[in-house]
């Protein structure tokens, strides 16, 4: 028998159903793997909770009560509040914060029978593209270059979740995506990452970064698994007024569906100057795979693509500066206070010690673009361009059903190779436009570069049309035959 922790979720569900193994056995195999991990992908390990949940799951299964994720061990990104388990968004300023409530998304996942192995590492407050800004240290990508053991980043911000899934430490993991924080690390680590349409998942209990963009999603090792896991976290929630009052379709039924006649849009603006020939080839191969499966390739245009990143870097920091104003050393987390300090002194000292440099930069950029005299020139301008970017997609979908692009402009890099903020931001050039428009996206691993590192292709769907994304994602996965670790 294959090692239990190398199974897909679909196969594990099958094995559990047949009685080949119990959730307790499956969970123990993962607890051992997490215990020995050297990637720094888990910052809080919860083996007792996992074992307890697994035993409960085995009991339920005997009674015939089987959820969609019944008995499956998963990792939970540290920005989801988990009742009684430290949740800090990997920031020093939330030191020791232990929620007394459970986020809707993790609660939904546990209601469907999932087992929590622990909390995964991430960029501080989800601000980063390399998992380099976490207060708990860097995460190591389980992949490395051929004949070169340089440590590579797993991508970010959900770097711990991505690395843990690829290294077979958990069968799936929760992530969150604001501008690419699921899709980019999935591409860097060679697994499947999905961000659903904005509004599919409740944001209640997710530590906020940029509220008009933040959306929960999942990492898994197959497209089918991603559909199963995503189905179990979506759904309307009265506690989030932006959560859509809609039924969640059976995403997993879409995987494996015929894509004959579907129109795949190729946006010409995603051919960037200086894009590597490897990425061009990956994209070309992807087009051919889908063409061979019966889809039609259509050239489309998204004319405002080049403005998406700078637009994002106004809107996201603006929202972050407002969201992060709650960290004041009064109600939770870190407090820095010395005798004689005023209230303002305490705020400033606490926030200065508690936030890392990237978070400080973004708070300050956000404060600046919202400040008197600059609001119209920056923030309002960005909101208007966001309208144009969204309209670009609406126009494109008159001609196609789904859009195919590379997920990232490069493969995983080493810490230190891209250190200035702007070149780090460019990692998300292909993922940010869909985020601004609130559209669903998936990254599917489809090949390796010349150094042996995984590369991914992204599919962007129409609003609330995850089913087509999963259908085409499944076809892409089947044709590519990518082999994980």
Partner 1 sequence: MSLTEKEVRKIAKLSRIKLKDDEIGHFQTELSNILDWIEQLQEVDTDDVPPMSSVVDMQSPIRTDKVTDGGYRDDVLTNAPENQYGCFVVPKVVE
Q: 38 to 67, contacts with partner 1 by CB under 8 A? A: none
254, 226 Cβ separation under 8 angstroms = no
Q: Does 82 bind partner 1 (CB under 8 A)?
A: no
The whole-angstrom separation of Cα 400 and Cα 390 is 15
Token representation of residue 186? 């999935």
Stretch of 29-37, 122-130, 397-405, 430-438 contacting partner 1, by CB under 8 A: 430-438
Is residue 263 at the binding interface for partner 1, with CB under 8 A as the rule?
no
Is 157 in the active site? yes
441-448 and 454-461 strand pairing:
antiparallel
Asked whether the beta carbons of 166 and 175 are under 8 A apart, the reply is no
Q: In whole angstroms, how close is the CB of 85 to partner 1 at the nearest point?
A: 13
354-383 binders of partner 1 (CB under 8 A): 355, 360-361, 363-365, 367-368, 371, 377-378, 380-383
Nearer residue to partner 1 within complex by CB, 407 or 463: 463
What is the smallest separation between the CB atom of 385 and partner 1, expressed in angstroms? 6
Site size with partner 1, rule: CB under 8 A: 71
* Residue 371 bears catalytic tag: no
Which one, 195 or 224, has the nearer CB to partner 1? Answer: 195
Instruction: Decide whether 369 or 412 has the Cβ nearer to partner 1.
Output: 369
Report 88-117 residues binding partner 1 (CB under 8 A): 96-101
Nearer to partner 1, 180 or 474 (CB): 180
**CA pair distance 119, 160, nearest whole angstrom:** 9
157, 161, 176, 222: the catalytic one is 157
Provide, rounded to whole angstroms, the least separation between the CB of residue 137 and partner 1: 22
Candidate ranges 157-165, 225-233, 268-276, 353-361; the one touching partner 1 (CB under 8 A): 353-361
* Catalytic residue, candidates 176, 181, 243, 435: 181
Question: Which residue from 47, 256, 310, 409 is in contact with partner 1, where contact means CB under 8 A?
Answer: 310
Among positions 452-471, residues that touch partner 1 (CB under 8 A) are 463
- Closer CB to partner 1, residue 183 or residue 304? 304
Among 8, 144, 296, 307, binds partner 1 (CB under 8 A): 307
Could you say which residues in the range 216-245 bind partner 1, by CB under 8 A?
A: 238, 241-242, 244-245
Q: Quick one: 7 or 234, whose CB is closer to partner 1? A: 234
Minimum CB distance to partner 1 smaller for 79 or for 117: 79
Q: At what angle do helices 223-233 and 104-111 cross, to 10 degrees?
A: 110
- Cis peptide preceding 157, ω within 30 of 0: yes
Q: Is residue 263 annotated as part of the catalytic site, yes or no?
A: no
Show contacts with partner 1 in window 119-148 (CB under 8 A). none
Rounded Cα distance between 115 and 122, Å, is 20
> Whole-number minimum distance, CB 15 to partner 1, in Å?
40
- One character per residue 329-348, x = contact with partner 1 (rule: CB under 8 A): xxxxxxx-x---xxxxxxxx
CB 159 to partner 1: min, Å: 22
Q: Which residue out of 22, 41, 57, 77 is catalytically annotated? A: 77
Using the rule CB under 8 A, is 325 a contact of partner 1? yes
Rg (CA), the chain: 21
Quote the CA–CA distance of 385 and 195 in Å, as a whole number.
Answer: 22
- The CB-of-100 to partner 1 minimum distance in angstroms stands at 4
* Residue among 311, 405, 407, 468 that touches partner 1 (CB under 8 A): 311
Stretch that binds partner 1, among 54-62, 125-133, 291-299, 432-440 (CB under 8 A): 432-440
In a 10 Å sphere around its CB, with 0-12 CB exposed, 13-18 middle and 19+ buried, how is residue 320 labelled?
A: buried
CB under 8 A: which stretch of 132-140, 174-182, 275-283, 313-321 binds partner 1? 313-321
Catalytic residue numbers?
Answer: 77, 157, 181
């Amino acid at each position: 028998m294959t090692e239990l922790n190398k199974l897909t979720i679909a196969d594990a569900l099958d094995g559990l159903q047949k009685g080949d193994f119990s959730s307790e056995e499956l969970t123990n195999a993962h607890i051992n793997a997490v215990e020995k991990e050297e990637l720094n992908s888990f910052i809080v390990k919860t083996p007792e909770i996992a074992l307890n949940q697994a035993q409960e799951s085995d009991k339920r299964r005997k009674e015939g009560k089987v959820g969609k994720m019944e008995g499956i061990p998963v990792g939970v990104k540290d920005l989801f509040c988990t009742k009684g388990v430290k949740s800090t968004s990997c920031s020093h300023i939330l030191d020791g914060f232990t929620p007394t409530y459970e986020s809707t998304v993790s609660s939904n996942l546990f209601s469907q029978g999932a087992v929590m192995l622990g909390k995964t590492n991430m960029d501080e407050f989800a601000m980063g593209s390399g998992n380099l800004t976490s207060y708990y240290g860097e995460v190591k990508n389980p992949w490395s270059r051929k004949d070169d053991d340089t440590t590579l980043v797993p991508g970010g911000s959900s770097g711990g979740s991505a690395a843990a899934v690829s290294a077979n430490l958990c069968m799936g993991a929760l992530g969150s995506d604001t501008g690419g924080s699921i899709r980019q690390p999935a591409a860097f680590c060679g697994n499947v990452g999905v961000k659903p349409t904005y509004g599919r998942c409740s944001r209640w209990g997710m530590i906020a970064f940029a509220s008009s963009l933040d959306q929960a999603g999942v990492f898994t090792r197959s497209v089918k698994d991603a559909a199963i896991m995503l189905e179990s976290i979506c759904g309307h929630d009265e506690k989030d007024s932006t959560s859509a009052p809609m039924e969640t379709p059976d995403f997993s039924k879409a995987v494996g569906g015929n894509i004959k006649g579907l129109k795949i849009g190729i946006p010409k603006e995603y051919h960037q100057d200086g894009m590597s020939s490897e990425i061009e080839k990956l994209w070309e191969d992807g087009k051919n795979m889908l063409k061979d499966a019966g889809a039609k390739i259509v050239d489309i245009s998204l004319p405002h693509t080049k403005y998406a990143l700078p637009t994002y870097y106004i809107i996201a920091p603006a929202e972050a500066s407002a969201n992060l104003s709650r960290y004041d050393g009064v109600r939770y987390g870190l407090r820095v206070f010395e005798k004689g300090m005023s209230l303002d002194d305490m705020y400033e000292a606490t926030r200065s010690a508690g936030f890392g440099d990237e978070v400080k930069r973004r708070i300050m950029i956000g404060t600046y673009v919202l400040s008197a005299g600059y609001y119209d020139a920056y923030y309002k301008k960005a909101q208007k361009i966001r309208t144009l970017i969204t309209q670009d997609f609406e126009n494109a979908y008159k001609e196609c059903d789904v859009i195919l692009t590379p997920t990232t402009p490069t493969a995983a890099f080493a810490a230190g190779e891209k250190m200035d903020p702007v070149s780090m931001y460019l990692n998300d050039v292909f993922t940010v436009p869909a985020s601004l428009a609130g559209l669903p996206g998936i990254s599917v691993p489809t090949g390796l570069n010349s150094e042996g590192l995984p590369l991914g292709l992204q599919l962007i769907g129409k609003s609330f049309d995850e089913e087509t994304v999963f259908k085409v994602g499944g076809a892409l996965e089947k044709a590519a035959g990518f082999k994980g670790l």
